[in-house]
Amino acid sequence: MSTANHLVAGSDPLRTLPPLPALKQSRYLATEIPGPRSHEFMVERRAQVSSGFGTQLPVFIERADGGILLDVDGNRIIDLASGLGPTSLGASNERVRERLQAQLDRFTHTCFMTTEYQSYVEVCRWLNERAPGNAEKRTALFSTGAEANENAVKIARYFTGRAKVLAFDGAYHGRTHMTMSLTSKAHPYKTGFGPFSNDVIHVPVPTSPRGSADTVDHSLDRVRAALLENDATSFAAMIIEPILGEAGCLIPQEGFLAGLREIADEYGILLIADEVQSGMGRTGRIWAIEYENVVPDLLVAAKALANGMPLSSVTGPADVMNAVHPAGLGGTYAGNPLSCEAALAVFEQLDTEGVLDKATELGRIAVEMLRPLVGAGQGVIDVRARGAMIGIEFGDEDTLEPASGRAKAVSAYCHANGVLALTNGVHENVIRLLPPIVIEPTLFRDGLQVIIGGIRETALKAAEEKADVSGR
Report how far residue 446's alpha carbon sits from residue 419's, in angstroms, rounded to the nearest whole number.
9
403: left (phi over 0), alpha (psi -120 to 50) or beta: beta
Closer residue to ligand PMP in complex, CB, 227/249: 249
CA distances from 419 to 48, 231, 347 (A): 27, 49, 29
**Closest separation between CB of residue 146 and ligand PMP, Å?**
3
Q: Which residues pair with 356 in a beta bridge?
A: none
Residues in 84-123 that interact with ligand PMP by CB under 6 A: 84
Closer residue to ligand PMP in complex, CB, 152/356: 152
Pick from 246, 382, 397, 428: which binds ligand PMP (CB under 6 A)?
246
CA distances from 235 to 201, 232, 263, 312 (A): 10, 6, 12, 24
Residues in 280-319 that interact with ligand PMP by CB under 6 A: 302
**Closest separation between CB of residue 312 and ligand PMP, Å?**
7
Closer residue to ligand PMP in complex, CB, 250/448: 250
Judged by CB under 6 A, does residue 150 bind ligand PMP?
Answer: no
Binding segment (CB under 6 A) for ligand PMP, from list 40-48, 74-82, 238-246, 348-356: 238-246
Q: Report which of 142, 119, 140 is spatially closest to residue 131, judged by C-alpha positions.
A: 140
Judged by CB under 6 A, does residue 145 bind ligand PMP?
Answer: yes
Q: Report which of 257, 307, 247, 259 is spatially closest to residue 279, judged by C-alpha positions.
A: 307
**Closest separation between CB of residue 379 and ligand PMP, Å?**
26
Pick from 245, 337, 387, 435: which binds ligand PMP (CB under 6 A)?
245
User: Strand, helix or coil at 201?
Assistant: strand
Pick from 80, 146, 311, 455: which binds ligand PMP (CB under 6 A)?
146
Closer residue to ligand PMP in complex, CB, 300/443: 300
Give the x/- contact pattern for ligand PMP in 167-186, rule: CB under 6 A.
Answer: -----xxx------------
Pick from 73, 241, 292, 393: which binds ligand PMP (CB under 6 A)?
241
Asked if 436 and 80 count as a contact pair (C-beta separation under 8 A), the reply is no
- Buried b / exposed e along 136-166 (16+ C-beta atoms within 10 A): ebbbbbbbbbbbbbbbbbbbbbbbbebbbbb
**Closest separation between CB of residue 311 and ligand PMP, Å?**
10
Report how far residue 253's alpha carbon sits from residue 263's, in angstroms, rounded to the nearest whole number.
16
Residues in 247-276 that interact with ligand PMP by CB under 6 A: 274, 276
Helical (H) or strand (E) element with 62: strand 61-65
Judged by CB under 6 A, does residue 35 bind ligand PMP?
Answer: no
- How crowded is residue 32: how many other Cβ atoms within 10 Å of its Cβ? 12
**Closest separation between CB of residue 40 and ligand PMP, Å?**
29
Pick from 75, 160, 277, 349: which binds ligand PMP (CB under 6 A)?
277
Residue nearest to ligand PMP (CB): 145
Bond prior to 195 in cis (omega within 30° of 0): yes
Closer residue to ligand PMP in complex, CB, 38/424: 424
User: Strand, helix or coil at 294?
Assistant: coil
Instruction: Give Cα 372 distance to the centre of its chain.
Output: 26
Tell me, by CB under 6 A, how many residues bind ligand PMP: 15
Binding site for ligand PMP (CB under 6 A): 84, 144-146, 149, 172-174, 241, 245-246, 274, 276-277, 302
